[in-house]
Amino acid sequence: MSSPLRIDERILHYLMGVQHLDERLLGIVEPVPVTPDLVPSHSQISEKMVAAWWVEIHDFLKLPIL
Q: Model-level pTM?
A: 0.37
Q: Tell me if 17 is assigned to some domain.
A: yes
User: What pLDDT sits at residue 61?
Assistant: 66
pLDDT of 65: 72
Q: What is the pLDDT of residues 1-26, one digit of tens each?
A: 788 888 988 888 889 988 777 788 88
Give pLDDT, residue 63.
67
pLDDT of residue 54: 73
Q: Which domain holds residue 13?
A: 9-62
Residue 1 domain-assigned (yes or no): no
pLDDT at 58: 64
Overall domain count for the chain = 1
Sign (positive or negative) of CA dihedral 58, 40, 34, 14: positive
Contacts of 29 (CB under 8 A, 6+ apart): 21
**Residue 55 falls inside a structural domain:** yes
Q: At 64, which amino acid appears?
A: P
